[in-house]
């Protein structure tokens, strides 16, 4: 077992630093080119959905159950079959489902933009006109959520994560006392990047929030709802707690088939109250006559049923799980006993969150970059890229081959250790 770095004498640290520097120089000389930054499916995973190409191959399949020819203009809320299937997948009635184009991120951006420009519904003043709308952002979190807030210049307030969702004492207190706090971002299952799933109590407390802002909204990004590696982790259906209450309109849920079939060619979904769906459609009808309904039909014909989606996701899991296990094994080998790193070992999703020695994330990132290993930018997992401890790195095991993944973890470990010894020597 390695010795804790913090217990090493200056001489021991210097010695270790020299050894690590030598290992690092050898890596640089070997000229690697590796990437741990891509949270996207591998080719092998994409090949799982090969039959999507032939699932819809005749015009007769384009007539929906309502008799509508999906090749033609119309049905802005989405094809009936698609709304039925996604309703079943998300546990909401089809009338509360809006099926769109390929990207749930686009839907989230549009939903946010509508709040900013038009408010949250009829008779509500736009967030923008009210002045300083602020958004609560559990962190570490998804950088693209933060990017949406930055785009609209909506100040972000970071919220602690507890391992089973946001710190609800903090959230409740903030929203109850500040009417300028208008929103909360959530990735309730296999959160990006910590991999945590909100427990039932947290989901209920979110649903039962008593915000000072009457136009407060929860952006419930359920991107990883079906991305279990083995045992199925259940996340409570937030609408079970908001339906029929004064918070009936508070939640916009988002989902897509990006990481079920093909990212960029899947379909995205928004689930919300009927009033919210109608309000969205009213504004969307100015933007577009409809989304790609032929693709909606194709996805439904391919995915068929919730049971079939679960079976399909087991095939993704068979490819992803060994990659996550490999990273975890590599991190154990590299860091156990050193006291300089902790990491999450999620039961699903796409990310591992690695915390290294405080104030070394930037140095580690730069060392990796100079050696030919690309990792997600230091700070990217926090609003304004400000990681208060400069220690969090998002690891994406999905895309690389097992061989590259193993090499990349070795390189990352050398860089993180070298950065830690440098920092500790500075602190001496
Ligand atoms: C939490 C989360 N939401 C949304 C997305 C993107 O979804 P889509 O492809 O549907 O736009 C990602 C992609 O990594 C994600 O991690």
Q: Is 253 in the pocket of ligand 1 (CB under 6 A)?
A: no
> 217-221 and 251-256: which strand pairing?
parallel
For the CA of 264, the nearest atom of ligand 1: 9
- The confidence score (pLDDT) of residue 123 equals 74
* Spans of all domains in the chain: 5-45+310-427, 63-304
Tokens encoding 59: 């015009």
Domain 5-45+310-427, CATH: 3.90.1150.10
To test the ligand 1 pocket, which listed residue (40, 41, 45, 105) has its Cβ within 8 A of the most ligand atoms? 105
For the CA of 258, the nearest atom of ligand 1: 9
Q: Measured between alpha carbons, how far is 61 from 272 in angstroms, rounded to an integer?
A: 29
Q: Is 223 in the pocket of ligand 1 (CB under 6 A)?
A: yes
CA within 13 Å, CB half, 128 = 11
Q: Looking at the predicted structure, is the pLDDT value of residue 114 above 90?
A: yes
Q: Is 267 in the pocket of ligand 1 (CB under 6 A)?
A: no
From ligand 1's centre to the CA of 224, what distance in Å? 9
**What are the tens digits of pLDDT across the range 265-313?**
999 999 999 999 999 999 999 999 999 999 999 999 999 999 999 999 9
* Cβ atoms of 214 and 248 closer than 8 Å: no
Q: Is 192 in the pocket of ligand 1 (CB under 6 A)?
A: yes
Query: What average pLDDT does range 54-81 have in this prediction?
Result: 97
The string of DSSP letters for 85-142 reads HHHHHHTS-GGGEEE-SS-HHHHHHHHHHHHHHH-SSTT---HHHHS--EEEEEES--
Q: Looking at the predicted structure, is the pLDDT value of residue 2 above 90?
A: no
* Cβ atoms of 110 and 156 closer than 8 Å: no
The residue contributing the CA closest to ligand 1 atom 6 is: 105
Q: Looking at the predicted structure, is the pLDDT value of residue 61 above 90?
A: yes
Q: What CA dihedral angle connects 310, 402, 223 and 263, to 10 degrees?
A: -90
From ligand 1's centre to the CA of 400, what distance in Å? 19
Q: Is 104 in the pocket of ligand 1 (CB under 6 A)?
A: yes
Find where tokens 């090749």 sit: 71
Q: Is 105 in the pocket of ligand 1 (CB under 6 A)?
A: yes
The residue contributing the CA closest to ligand 1 atom 12 is: 223
Kindly state the DSSP code that residue 187 receives in the 8-state scheme: -
Query: What average pLDDT does range 203-220 have in this prediction?
Result: 97
- The confidence score (pLDDT) of residue 89 equals 98
Q: Measured between alpha carbons, how far is 335 from 352 in angstroms, rounded to an integer?
A: 15
**What are the tens digits of pLDDT across the range 124-157?**
899 999 988 999 999 999 999 999 999 999 999 9
Q: Looking at the predicted structure, is the pLDDT value of residue 1 above 70?
A: no
Kindly state the DSSP code that residue 157 receives in the 8-state scheme: E
- The confidence score (pLDDT) of residue 414 equals 98
Find where tokens 């809320």 sit: 77
Q: Is 221 in the pocket of ligand 1 (CB under 6 A)?
A: yes
Three-state DSSP at 273 gives: coil
**What are the tens digits of pLDDT across the range 156-177?**
999 999 999 999 999 999 999 9
For the CA of 255, the nearest atom of ligand 1: 10
**Residue 263 vs residues 39, 63, 234, 310: alpha-carbon distances, Å:** 11, 26, 24, 18
Q: Is 165 in the pocket of ligand 1 (CB under 6 A)?
A: no
Query: What's the mean pLDDT when you consider all of the chain?
Result: 97
Domain 63-304 fold is 3.40.640
For the CA of 107, the nearest atom of ligand 1: 11
Which has more confidence, 3 or 265?
A: 265
Q: Is 260 in the pocket of ligand 1 (CB under 6 A)?
A: no
Q: Looking at the predicted structure, is the pLDDT value of residue 47 above 80?
A: yes
Helix locations, 34-79, DSSP H: 43-47, 52-55
**What are the tens digits of pLDDT across the range 234-250?**
999 999 999 999 999 99
To test the ligand 1 pocket, which listed residue (45, 144, 147, 255) has its Cβ within 8 A of the most ligand atoms? 144
Helix (H) / strand (E) element for 296: namely helix 293-303
């Amino acid at each position: 077992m390695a010795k804790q770095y913090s217990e090493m004498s200056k001489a021991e640290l210097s010695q270790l630093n020299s050894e690590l520097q030598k290992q690092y120089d050898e890596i640089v000389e070997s000229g690697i080119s590796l990437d741990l930054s891509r949270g996207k499916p591998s080719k092998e995973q994409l090949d799982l959905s090969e039959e999507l190409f032939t699932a819809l191959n005749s015009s007769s399949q384009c007539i929906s159950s309502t008799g509508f020819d999906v090749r033609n203009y119309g049905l802005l809320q989405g094809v009936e079959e698609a709304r039925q299937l996604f309703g079943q997948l998300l546990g909401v009635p089809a009338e509360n489902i809006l099926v769109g184009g390929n990207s749930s991120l686009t839907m989230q951006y549009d939903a946010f933009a509508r709040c900013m420009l038009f408010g949250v519904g009829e008779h509500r003043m736009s967030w923008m006109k009210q002045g300083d709308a602020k958004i609560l952002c559990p962190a570490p979190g998804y950088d693209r959520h933060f990017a949406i807030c930055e785009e609209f210049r909506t100040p972000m307030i970071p919220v602690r994560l507890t391992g089973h969702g946001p710190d609800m004492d903090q959230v409740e207190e903030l929203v109850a006392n500040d009417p300028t706090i208008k929103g909360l971002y959530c990735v309730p299952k296999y959160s990006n990047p910590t991999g945590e799933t909100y427990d039932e109590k947290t989901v209920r407390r979110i649903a039962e929030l008593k915000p000072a802002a009457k136009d407060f909204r929860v952006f419930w990004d359920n991107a990883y709802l079906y991305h279990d590696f083995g045992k199925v982790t259940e996340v409570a259906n937030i609408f079970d707690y908001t339906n029929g209450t004064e918070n009936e309109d508070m939640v916009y849920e988002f989902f897509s088939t990006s990481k079920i079939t093909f990212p960029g060619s899947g379909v995205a979904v928004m689930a919300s109250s009927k009033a919210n769906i109608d309000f969205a459609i009213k504004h969307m009808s100015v933007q577009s006559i409809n989304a790609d309904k032929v693709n909606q039909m194709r996805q439904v014909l391919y995915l068929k049923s919730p049971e079939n989606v679960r079976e399909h996701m087991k095939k993704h899991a068979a490819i992803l799980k060994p990659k996550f296990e490999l990273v975890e094994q590599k991190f154990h080998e590299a860091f156990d006993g050193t006291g300089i790193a902790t990491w999450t070992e999620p039961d699903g999703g796409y990310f591992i969150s690695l915390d290294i020695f405080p104030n070394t994330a930037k140095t580690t990132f730069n060392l990796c970059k100079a050696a030919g290993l690309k990792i997600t930018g230091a700070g990217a997992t926090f609003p304004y890229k400000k990681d208060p401890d400069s220690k969090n790195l998002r690891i994406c095991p999905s895309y690389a081959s097992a061989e590259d993944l193993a090499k990349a973890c070795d390189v990352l470990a050398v860089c993180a250790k070298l950065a830690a010894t440098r920092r500790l020597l500075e602190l001496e």
